[in-house]
Chains A and B, each alone.
Chain A
Amino acid sequence: MNIARDTALELYRVMGTIRRFEQRAEQLFGENKIWGTIHNYSGQEAVAAGVSAHLRDDDWITSTHRGHGHCIAKRADLGKMFAELLGRETGYCRGRGGSMHIADTSKGNLGANGIVGGGIPIAVGAALTAKQTKTDRVAVSYFGDGGANQGTFHEGLNLAAIWALPVVFVLENNQYAETNPVRDAFAVEDIATRAAGYGMPGVTVNGQDVRETYRAGGEAVARARRGDGPTLLVMDTYRYGGHYYGDPQVYRSKEEIEEWRAKRDPLAIARDWILTEKLASPADFDRIDTEVDAAVERGVKFAEASPPASPITLPEDVYAT
């Protein structure tokens, strides 16, 4: 599949933004400015960027505890994201939720979710809405390999299959659920075989190559939009950081991490591809990188200049008014 220059550079920009956002978030965490915890998406950028590139603002996603990348790829406002992390009134949830509770319904982002596997039934419900209201909207549910072993996965995929709902299940197999490696959590080699148990297609995708995630995401989203039902995409990927900020990572080796970083970095792969195909020049990348840095810094500034969330207004927004 040929990807045009504009699309290629946009995919690169989204991935670069995620990477830079996560670097800054870790820095802010180190400066003790972030409340709660954060889970770093670095290493997995190609997944969210490639799939969400096919979504409109009225399409939905559900996200996870490791959700910053999903938010950004669904065109979230970086300032409001940082504000949420920093517990500011201007954050997506007025600073009350933090990293694991960013939702942006104006962009179809139904929210990060601290419950592993918790987003899956929500996405299925959204897809049911699309079907009942006879629209061509699509829902994408991002979740991890750990999420795939929750009962919500089973109930969600089964319902989506029997009702042929417009939903794409994006399983980000980053090889670990906290400390638990996938080989200790699945008795099957190929996780995509799970799909056959529900009667839906299951595809394993190289999640480090944005061309692959873009292609597979495009096909699955188009299938859903046509009304042909759900797909399970198993994205082979890797998280560079610990499970959470400060994770001692005794369950994996430095060599393993280095191997992925050196050979399968999604940003490096994208750069190589774009340069080899002469879709852009090194100068284009420099320009994009500078713009990305500036956008992220603007976000941080906005957040730091915003007032902290007030305990006085805490009971507001608990119930709809």
Chain B
Amino acid sequence: MKMAARTKARHESLGLSLEDVVQMYRVMLQTRMIGERMMQLNRMGKAMFVGVADGHEAAEVGSAWCIRKGVDWCVPYYRDVGVALVLGQTAKDQFLGVFAKATDPNSGGRQIVNQFSDVKAKMLSGSVHIATQFPHAVGLALAAKIRKQDHIVVTYGGEGATSPGDFHEAMNFAAVHELPVVFVIENNQYAISTPVKLQMAVANVADRAAAYGMPGVIADGTDVLDVYEKTKQACDRARGGDGPTLVEVKCYRYRPHSSDDDDSRYRSKDELQAWLQKDPIDKAAAYLLQQAVAASRLEDMRQEIAADIEAAITAAENDPDPDPATLTRYVYGEDAE
């Protein structure tokens, strides 16, 4: 048998241009670098509380890349800085949340950090209560079906969020009504200090899907293209009217759960090291270099992002704090009064 003259590169067979992959890489790197600065600001006493996405970049960016901006709805969770950036939020938006400024797009400085909420980006505000996002997402998908709208819904959660009953009710309802929703579960092996083997007696979150008559697939969360591929298939299924899918993305968080957590108390350095060997950002960079993207371009990109982040922090710090007199605004709809 004759070999094809040139085998397609992985991204090409997924329908992505090399420039797409470069841009995915850019957002991944931006996510990581924003996280680093958030943690620093916390340790400097400038940010009360932060939670970062280190290690989740491929999981978040690869999956969010499948969301059609301005069309599909997204119901993310607090770790999804990468998702928010893909959907159009800026570095400054993140720091406005960190500093709880009046101009914070998520909540005007009222919510805890990373409670993404953005009408333009079609990101539905979440609750701090984990797993409540799933029934909300299913409701949005039901609306699409009833109103014959074109959108699908992509919702996110950690593996810990698959234990509350909300997950069960949402999964069942979505499957029974064949709703256009994709559940992306970022399985980073821990729910704060609880390792996944104490969270569930099955090997994979994806194993749960069969109980609802829904496909469950596993993506390698260290590989942005694999995450893209699996999520894309799920989104296509939803768009084709074939119902929901559970996509489990296996990854690892490199940082403590939040700025208030000491992860050395529940996990070993060796374990962390093993996962650092598989760093999703390094993997994406290696792919780009192998595809003949110049190393200098990636380096320039890092510097641009760094400069943008510094400017964003300064600008965010200079924005006004919320006026206490407006405290009760946004509790109810503005026109309700």
Contacts and interface: CB of A to CB of B under 8 A. Distances in A.
A151 B176 contact: no
Given A155-B163, A155-B164, A186-B213, A162 B207 contact: no
A98 B293 CA distance: 75
B70 interface: no
B202 A199 contact: yes
Contacts, number: 73
A191 to B, nearest CB: 9
B202 A197 contact: yes
Majority secondary structure of chain B interface residues (helix, strand, loop or mixed): helix
A179 interface: no
B213 A200 contact: no
Contacts of A151: 164-169
B208 A197 contact: yes
B165 A187 contact: no
Interface string B133-172: 0000000000000000000000000000001111111001
Nearest to A164: B201
A187 B207 contact: no
Interface residues of B, number: 24
A136 B214 CA distance: 38
Interface string B198-216: 1111100001111111100
Interface string A172-192: 000000000000111111000
Contacts of A162: 198-201
A153 B198 CA distance: 18
Contacts of B214: 187
Interface of B: 163-169, 172, 175-176, 178, 198-202, 207-214
Closest 10 CB pairs of A and B: A151-B165, A154-B168, A199-B201, A187-B213, A197-B211, A187-B175, A161-B201, A188-B213, A197-B208, A194-B211
12 contacts: A150-B169, A151-B165, A151-B168, A151-B169, A154-B164, A187-B172, A187-B175, A194-B211, A197-B207, A197-B208, A198-B200, A200-B201
Interface of A: 149-155, 158, 161-162, 184-189, 193-200
